């Protein structure tokens, strides 16, 4: 049997096609192996961002809200209006802070109650979550609304 240039070109193309298919198969198996290897990794117990963030929010929410209410009252707002504005701005700041850290922080069902002429009680639900965990916490604290 005689080889012609056309027959040699076809054999080279078939060899090239076989090599490409073999490489694609090996690449596919390698990617699958890496994915499966990642599935067996345990949850990282050191990633307790939700708990740490919740503690930080609980430690700072009362003092931060008190500072804001004093700022707004010094600007001329009535105590209840200043408290509502202070709570809303604190919530917005926590929400933004959480976005920067990759954690969602929300204050919901915020209620202000006048205890007496100089004190307001704040009740809210704090929700903190990331991609793996979520924590809800009831928040209750008081604000001093005495005129400066």
Q: What is the pLDDT of residue 103?
A: 86
- Residue 50: what pLDDT? 83
Q: Quick one: which of 96, 115, 114, 118 has its CA closest to 105?
A: 96
Instruction: Give pLDDT, residue 12.
Output: 76
Residues facing 142 on adjacent strands: 121
Residue 118's nearest CA partner among 69, 53, 47 is 69
β strands within 21-133, DSSP E: 104-116, 119-129
- Say what the pLDDT of residue 64 is: 93
Q: What is the structure's pLDDT at 37?
A: 57
Q: Which residues in the chain land under pLDDT 70?
A: 1-8, 33-47, 147-148
Which residues are CB-neighbours of 71 under 8 A, at least 6 positions away?
Answer: 86
pLDDT score of 24: 86
- Model pLDDT, residue 58: 92
pLDDT at 60: 92
């Amino acid at each position: 049997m005689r080889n012609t240039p056309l027959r040699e070109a076809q054999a080279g193309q078939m060899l090239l096609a076989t090599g490409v298919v073999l490489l694609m198969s090996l690449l596919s198996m390698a990617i699958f192996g890496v994915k499966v290897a990642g599935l067996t990794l345990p949850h990282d117990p050191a990633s307790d961002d939700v708990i740490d963030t919740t503690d930080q929010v609980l430690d700072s929410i009362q003092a931060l809200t008190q500072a804001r209410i004093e700022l707004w009252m010094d600007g001329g707002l009535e105590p209840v209006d200043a408290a509502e504005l202070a709570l809303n701005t604190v919530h917005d700041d926590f929400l933004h802070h959480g976005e920067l850290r990759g954690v969602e922080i929300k204050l919901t069902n915020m209620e202000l109650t006048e205890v007496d002429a100089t004190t307001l009680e704040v009740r809210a639900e704090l929700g903190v979550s990331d991609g793996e965990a979520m924590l809800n916490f009831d928040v209750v604290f008081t604000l001093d609304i005495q005129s400066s």
